[in-house]
A and B are shown apart, each in its own frame.
Chain A
Amino acid sequence: MREKRQSVQVKGKTNKKVFWTSFISGIMLLAVLLVSIGLSGVAYAVPLAGVGDFYVEFDKLEGTGYTFYPKMGETSSEASAPEGTNLIDKLTITNLKLYKDFKVGDQWIRVKITASKPVQITGLQQDASLIQANAQFSDLVLKENYSNDWTKQFKQTSSKITLGSAKLKTHYLFQKTINMNGMKLTVEKIDKK
């Protein structure tokens, strides 16, 4: 006796219309993303915390709404070290240079970010343990307050701040928005003793 065996072979197909529709939608989505983050050069909420002990150098800083108060904060080498917090509402920096040195094995590697064009920042918070600069203030107020919290006992404010040829040893940096046109990131070996 003989019987028949059926083997069903399923064959897939690619629908060209659906392919092109989804591909073009994807390209448009990518374009929207690139236009919104790439071309405007604006990065939102950029914290550089935990990196610790990095240097910020620039030729000139012009800012409005400046506040300074002392605090204790962490660094990459200590859990708690004396620092000062600088808050600036709106500022423009020319010739910004930001760098951090890492020890990898026996050699030092420097990660450096530079911006060739003026950098616009809003909502800056910077914790520093060293500030070297030629400073100019408008409406400068240095005030002592009565408080049990030592960080609230002293406060420095000014409506306008201008710093020239500055070098800041920074431990924490936060910007609400930053516009870095002409940005360049380099990683290079350096000679350091």
Chain B
Amino acid sequence: MRFKSWRQSRPLWGSVITIISGLMILWVPLNLYLSTFLPGSIAVIGLLFGGLITMIGLLALFFPQSAKILGIFTMFLSVLSVIGALGGFLVGTIFGLIGGSALIAWRMGSTDPDEDDSVHVTEDPVRAG
């Protein structure tokens, strides 16, 4: 029950898909580096974009009120990651687009109980003394 309320108060799926996308984008430049030690700056761009997308996914979990702007950043970075990291062979980019769209589309329910039925007010009797 506690997990359910935690999950419902933040864009869980959008964040998880965004984190997976970031890790996929990171995978390509990391492999390039470990196997060939190629000099050049392009793989560094891939590391940067992959790292940023992973971080945005984590941030969206802890700052759900900023989900919309974080989603826009995710989409922008995942499209650009095609240059330099091949966008995790495009699968990472597609995941980034899905995760980013899910973050953009996520809305926090209103805190006014009369306005929205997504807010539940529970009344528990409490002993006061």
Contact = CB atoms under 8 A, between A and B. Distances in A.
A8 B118 CA distance: 10
Contacts, number: 120
Interface stretch (A9-17, A55-63, A115-123, A155-163): A9-17
B82 A26 contact: no
Interface in A168-193: 187
Interface in B28-61: 35-40
B85 to A, nearest CB: 13
B97 interface: yes
Nearest to B112: A8
B88 interface: no
Contact of B106 (A10, A14, A33): A14
B78 to A, nearest CB: 8
A16 B104 CA distance: 10
A51 interface: yes
Interface in A3-28: 3-20, 22-23, 25-27
A22 B100 CA distance: 8
A37 B128 CA distance: 69
Contacts of A111: 36, 38
Contacts of A14: 11, 14, 102, 105-107
Q: Main SS of the interface on chain B?
A: mixed
B123 interface: yes
Interface residues of A, number: 37
Given A14-B106, A26-B100, A2 B126 contact: yes
Interface in B68-123: 71, 75, 78-80, 82-83, 93, 97-98, 100-102, 104-109, 111, 113, 118-123
Contacts of A109: 36
B127 A2 contact: yes
B126 A34 contact: no
Contact of B101 (A4, A23, A51): A23
Contacts of B39: 50-51
A51 B40 CA distance: 8
Interface in A127-176: none
Interface of B: 5, 8-11, 14, 35-40, 64, 71, 75, 78-80, 82-83, 93, 97-98, 100-102, 104-109, 111, 113, 118-129
Interface of A: 1-20, 22-23, 25-27, 29-30, 33-34, 37, 50-51, 102, 104, 109, 111, 187
6 contacts: A2-B125, A7-B124, A11-B119, A14-B102, A19-B101, A37-B83
Given A19-B102, A19-B104, A19-B105, 8 more contacts: A4-B124, A6-B122, A7-B122, A10-B8, A11-B120, A26-B79, A33-B83, A51-B40
